[in-house]
A = this chain, B = another copy of it.
Amino acid sequence: MSQNIYDDETLFAGYSRLQRSIHGLDGAPEWPALRGLLPDVQALKVLDLGCGYGWFCRWAAEHGAADVLGVDVSERMLQRAAGWKAHPGITYRRADLESIALPERAFDLIYSSLALHYIENLRGLLTSVHHALLPGARFVFSIEHPVLMAPRRQRFCKDAEGRSFWPLDGYQNEGRRVTHWLAEGVIKQHRTMGTLVNMLIDSGLTLSRMIEWGPSEEQVRSMPALAEEVERPMFLMISAQKSALCRADCYE
Protein backbone atom coordinates (compact mmCIF):
# COMPACT_ATOMS: atom_id res chain seq x y z
CA MET A 1 0.00 0.00 0.00
CA SER A 2 1.37 3.37 -0.94
CA GLN A 3 1.53 6.31 1.42
CA ASN A 4 -2.00 7.67 1.61
CA ILE A 5 -1.35 11.28 2.49
CA TYR A 6 -4.80 12.58 1.72
CA ASP A 7 -6.35 10.55 4.51
CA ASP A 8 -4.10 12.38 6.97
CA GLU A 9 -6.36 14.86 8.78
CA THR A 10 -3.95 17.80 8.75
CA LEU A 11 -3.15 17.37 5.12
CA PHE A 12 -6.73 16.85 4.08
CA ALA A 13 -7.77 19.99 5.94
CA GLY A 14 -5.00 21.99 4.30
CA TYR A 15 -5.75 20.56 0.88
CA SER A 16 -9.42 21.46 1.27
CA ARG A 17 -8.45 25.13 1.57
CA LEU A 18 -6.38 25.28 -1.64
CA GLN A 19 -7.74 27.31 -4.54
CA ARG A 20 -7.81 24.16 -6.66
CA SER A 21 -9.96 22.41 -4.04
CA ILE A 22 -12.41 25.27 -3.67
CA HIS A 23 -12.62 26.35 -7.31
CA GLY A 24 -11.80 23.07 -9.02
CA LEU A 25 -10.01 23.02 -12.35
CA ASP A 26 -10.35 26.79 -12.77
CA GLY A 27 -8.52 27.27 -9.47
CA ALA A 28 -5.46 25.49 -10.86
CA PRO A 29 -3.33 27.90 -12.92
CA GLU A 30 -1.90 25.06 -15.01
CA TRP A 31 -5.31 23.73 -16.07
CA PRO A 32 -5.58 25.72 -19.36
CA ALA A 33 -2.24 24.25 -20.49
CA LEU A 34 -3.18 20.74 -19.44
CA ARG A 35 -6.59 21.05 -21.12
CA GLY A 36 -4.73 22.04 -24.30
CA LEU A 37 -3.19 18.57 -24.37
CA LEU A 38 -6.56 16.81 -24.16
CA PRO A 39 -8.54 15.49 -27.12
CA ASP A 40 -12.24 16.29 -27.48
CA VAL A 41 -13.65 13.93 -24.84
CA GLN A 42 -17.06 13.59 -26.55
CA ALA A 43 -18.06 9.89 -26.46
CA LEU A 44 -14.71 8.80 -25.02
CA LYS A 45 -14.11 6.25 -22.27
CA VAL A 46 -11.99 8.10 -19.73
CA LEU A 47 -9.91 7.00 -16.74
CA ASP A 48 -8.57 9.47 -14.15
CA LEU A 49 -5.67 8.12 -12.06
CA GLY A 50 -5.66 9.96 -8.73
CA CYS A 51 -9.00 11.67 -9.23
CA GLY A 52 -9.15 13.43 -5.84
CA TYR A 53 -12.41 15.34 -5.48
CA GLY A 54 -13.42 14.27 -8.97
CA TRP A 55 -13.27 17.71 -10.60
CA PHE A 56 -11.82 16.32 -13.80
CA CYS A 57 -14.25 13.38 -13.87
CA ARG A 58 -17.17 15.80 -13.72
CA TRP A 59 -15.58 18.05 -16.36
CA ALA A 60 -15.18 15.04 -18.69
CA ALA A 61 -18.75 13.86 -18.07
CA GLU A 62 -20.10 17.38 -18.67
CA HIS A 63 -18.15 17.52 -21.93
CA GLY A 64 -19.78 14.39 -23.24
CA ALA A 65 -17.48 11.55 -22.22
CA ALA A 66 -19.27 8.22 -22.55
CA ASP A 67 -17.90 6.67 -19.35
CA VAL A 68 -15.65 8.10 -16.71
CA LEU A 69 -13.82 6.07 -14.10
CA GLY A 70 -12.08 7.95 -11.29
CA VAL A 71 -9.69 6.07 -9.02
CA ASP A 72 -7.96 7.29 -5.90
CA VAL A 73 -6.31 5.73 -2.87
CA SER A 74 -7.93 8.20 -0.49
CA GLU A 75 -11.27 7.26 1.04
CA ARG A 76 -11.88 10.85 2.13
CA MET A 77 -11.26 12.18 -1.36
CA LEU A 78 -13.66 9.69 -2.87
CA GLN A 79 -16.32 10.47 -0.25
CA ARG A 80 -16.05 14.13 -1.16
CA ALA A 81 -16.21 13.26 -4.86
CA ALA A 82 -19.27 11.07 -4.37
CA GLY A 83 -20.92 13.80 -2.29
CA TRP A 84 -21.40 16.08 -5.27
CA LYS A 85 -24.53 15.90 -7.35
CA ALA A 86 -24.25 12.55 -9.03
CA HIS A 87 -23.43 12.54 -12.72
CA PRO A 88 -24.55 9.49 -14.68
CA GLY A 89 -21.59 7.89 -16.35
CA ILE A 90 -19.07 8.56 -13.56
CA THR A 91 -17.85 5.70 -11.38
CA TYR A 92 -15.46 6.17 -8.48
CA ARG A 93 -13.30 3.33 -7.21
CA ARG A 94 -10.79 3.12 -4.44
CA ALA A 95 -7.50 1.67 -5.65
CA ASP A 96 -3.80 1.97 -4.98
CA LEU A 97 -1.93 3.18 -8.07
CA GLU A 98 1.12 1.20 -6.91
CA SER A 99 -0.60 -2.05 -7.78
CA ILE A 100 -3.83 -1.21 -9.64
CA ALA A 101 -5.14 -3.80 -12.10
CA LEU A 102 -6.63 -2.17 -15.20
CA PRO A 103 -8.73 -3.78 -17.92
CA GLU A 104 -6.96 -4.29 -21.21
CA ARG A 105 -7.67 -1.91 -24.13
CA ALA A 106 -10.54 -0.25 -22.34
CA PHE A 107 -9.92 3.52 -22.45
CA ASP A 108 -9.71 6.25 -25.09
CA LEU A 109 -8.05 8.64 -22.65
CA ILE A 110 -6.14 8.10 -19.43
CA TYR A 111 -5.56 11.26 -17.42
CA SER A 112 -3.61 11.98 -14.26
CA SER A 113 -3.03 15.28 -12.50
CA LEU A 114 -0.19 15.70 -9.99
CA ALA A 115 -0.33 12.12 -8.71
CA LEU A 116 2.53 10.23 -10.37
CA HIS A 117 5.30 11.80 -8.26
CA TYR A 118 3.96 9.80 -5.30
CA ILE A 119 4.32 6.46 -7.09
CA GLU A 120 7.28 4.19 -6.36
CA ASN A 121 6.44 1.56 -8.95
CA LEU A 122 5.94 4.02 -11.80
CA ARG A 123 7.32 1.60 -14.36
CA GLY A 124 4.63 -0.92 -13.41
CA LEU A 125 1.88 1.69 -13.55
CA LEU A 126 2.98 2.90 -17.01
CA THR A 127 2.96 -0.64 -18.32
CA SER A 128 -0.62 -0.98 -17.03
CA VAL A 129 -1.54 2.34 -18.65
CA HIS A 130 -0.23 1.18 -22.00
CA HIS A 131 -2.18 -2.08 -21.75
CA ALA A 132 -5.34 -0.26 -20.71
CA LEU A 133 -5.31 2.19 -23.63
CA LEU A 134 -7.08 1.41 -26.86
CA PRO A 135 -4.87 1.55 -30.00
CA GLY A 136 -4.26 5.21 -30.89
CA ALA A 137 -5.49 6.42 -27.49
CA ARG A 138 -3.77 9.01 -25.32
CA PHE A 139 -2.24 9.28 -21.89
CA VAL A 140 -2.16 12.90 -20.66
CA PHE A 141 -0.64 13.74 -17.29
CA SER A 142 0.94 16.39 -15.12
CA ILE A 143 3.58 15.73 -12.46
CA GLU A 144 5.72 17.92 -10.23
CA HIS A 145 8.72 18.94 -12.30
CA PRO A 146 11.96 17.13 -11.38
CA VAL A 147 13.70 20.49 -10.99
CA LEU A 148 11.10 21.43 -8.37
CA MET A 149 11.36 18.10 -6.58
CA ALA A 150 15.13 17.52 -6.53
CA PRO A 151 16.59 20.08 -4.06
CA ARG A 152 17.19 19.59 -0.37
CA ARG A 153 15.70 23.02 0.32
CA GLN A 154 12.58 23.43 -1.76
CA ARG A 155 12.08 27.17 -1.54
CA PHE A 156 13.18 30.15 -3.59
CA CYS A 157 16.19 32.18 -2.41
CA LYS A 158 17.04 35.85 -3.03
CA ASP A 159 20.38 36.98 -4.38
CA ALA A 160 22.22 40.15 -3.31
CA GLU A 161 20.07 42.21 -5.69
CA GLY A 162 16.88 40.78 -4.21
CA ARG A 163 16.12 38.61 -7.24
CA SER A 164 14.68 35.15 -6.81
CA PHE A 165 16.45 31.99 -7.85
CA TRP A 166 15.82 28.29 -7.28
CA PRO A 167 18.68 26.52 -5.45
CA LEU A 168 18.93 23.35 -7.51
CA ASP A 169 20.94 20.46 -6.15
CA GLY A 170 20.78 16.67 -6.03
CA TYR A 171 19.20 16.50 -9.48
CA GLN A 172 21.06 13.33 -10.46
CA ASN A 173 20.27 11.57 -7.17
CA GLU A 174 16.95 9.93 -7.83
CA GLY A 175 14.69 8.54 -5.16
CA ARG A 176 12.71 9.61 -2.09
CA ARG A 177 12.21 13.23 -1.17
CA VAL A 178 10.56 14.02 2.13
CA THR A 179 8.79 17.36 1.94
CA HIS A 180 6.56 19.36 4.22
CA TRP A 181 3.70 20.34 1.99
CA LEU A 182 0.51 20.88 4.01
CA ALA A 183 1.71 18.15 6.41
CA GLU A 184 5.02 16.88 7.72
CA GLY A 185 6.83 14.03 6.03
CA VAL A 186 5.12 13.80 2.66
CA ILE A 187 7.11 11.34 0.55
CA LYS A 188 7.62 11.92 -3.17
CA GLN A 189 9.74 10.12 -5.74
CA HIS A 190 12.27 12.24 -7.61
CA ARG A 191 13.12 11.04 -11.10
CA THR A 192 15.00 12.98 -13.76
CA MET A 193 13.25 14.07 -16.95
CA GLY A 194 15.35 11.52 -18.80
CA THR A 195 14.14 8.69 -16.58
CA LEU A 196 10.49 9.75 -16.91
CA VAL A 197 10.69 10.03 -20.69
CA ASN A 198 12.53 6.72 -21.07
CA MET A 199 10.00 4.94 -18.82
CA LEU A 200 7.18 6.18 -21.05
CA ILE A 201 9.00 5.02 -24.18
CA ASP A 202 9.85 1.66 -22.59
CA SER A 203 6.17 1.15 -21.76
CA GLY A 204 5.41 1.35 -25.49
CA LEU A 205 4.08 4.92 -25.63
CA THR A 206 5.16 7.60 -28.11
CA LEU A 207 5.73 11.12 -26.82
CA SER A 208 3.55 13.63 -28.65
CA ARG A 209 3.87 16.83 -26.58
CA MET A 210 5.76 18.14 -23.55
CA ILE A 211 5.02 21.28 -21.55
CA GLU A 212 7.10 22.55 -18.66
CA TRP A 213 4.46 24.70 -17.11
CA GLY A 214 5.06 28.30 -16.09
CA PRO A 215 2.55 31.13 -15.66
CA SER A 216 1.60 33.45 -18.52
CA GLU A 217 2.18 37.21 -18.13
CA GLU A 218 -1.54 37.66 -17.64
CA GLN A 219 -1.58 35.05 -14.85
CA VAL A 220 1.32 36.79 -13.10
CA ARG A 221 -0.54 40.12 -13.29
CA SER A 222 -3.70 38.67 -11.76
CA MET A 223 -1.86 36.44 -9.27
CA PRO A 224 1.50 38.05 -8.38
CA ALA A 225 2.46 35.08 -6.17
CA LEU A 226 3.06 33.18 -9.41
CA ALA A 227 5.82 35.58 -10.55
CA GLU A 228 8.67 33.42 -9.19
CA GLU A 229 7.47 30.49 -11.24
CA VAL A 230 9.08 31.93 -14.39
CA GLU A 231 12.47 31.25 -12.80
CA ARG A 232 12.08 27.45 -12.84
CA PRO A 233 9.75 24.90 -14.41
CA MET A 234 7.00 24.04 -11.88
CA PHE A 235 5.00 21.21 -13.45
CA LEU A 236 5.80 18.80 -16.25
CA MET A 237 2.93 17.85 -18.56
CA ILE A 238 3.13 15.17 -21.19
CA SER A 239 0.83 13.81 -23.84
CA ALA A 240 1.79 10.36 -25.08
CA GLN A 241 0.06 8.03 -27.46
CA LYS A 242 -0.32 4.31 -27.97
CA SER A 243 0.34 3.27 -31.53
CA ALA A 244 -2.81 3.02 -33.64
CA LEU A 245 -1.25 -0.11 -35.14
CA CYS A 246 -0.74 -1.73 -31.75
CA ARG A 247 -2.29 -5.16 -31.89
CA ALA A 248 -2.28 -7.85 -29.24
CA ASP A 249 1.20 -8.96 -30.25
CA CYS A 250 2.59 -5.62 -29.07
CA TYR A 251 2.61 -7.13 -25.63
CA GLU A 252 4.66 -10.16 -26.50
A residues sitting closer than 8 Å to B (CB atoms) are 147, 151, 153, 157, 159, 163-173, 192-194, 197-198, 201, 206-212, 214, 229-233
Contact = CB atoms under 8 A, between A and B. Distances in A.
Given A201-B208, A210-B198, A211-B194, A169 B164 contact: yes
A159 B167 contact: yes
B168 A166 contact: yes
A157 B166 CA distance: 12
Contacts of A157: 167
A169 B231 contact: yes
Contacts of A164: 169
Contacts of A169: 163-166, 231-232
Contacts of A230: 170-173
A201 B171 CA distance: 26
Contacts of A167: 157, 159, 165-168
Contacts of A207: 197, 201, 206-207
Nearest to A229: B172
Contact of A171 (B151, B153, B197, B233): B233
A122 to B, nearest CB: 16
Nearest to A170: B231
A78 B164 CA distance: 43
Nearest to A209: B198
A111 B111 CA distance: 36
A21 B163 CA distance: 38
14 contacts: A147-B147, A151-B165, A163-B169, A166-B167, A170-B231, A171-B230, A172-B212, A172-B214, A192-B212, A193-B210, A194-B211, A194-B212, A201-B208, A206-B206
A193 B212 contact: yes
Contacts of A206: 206-207
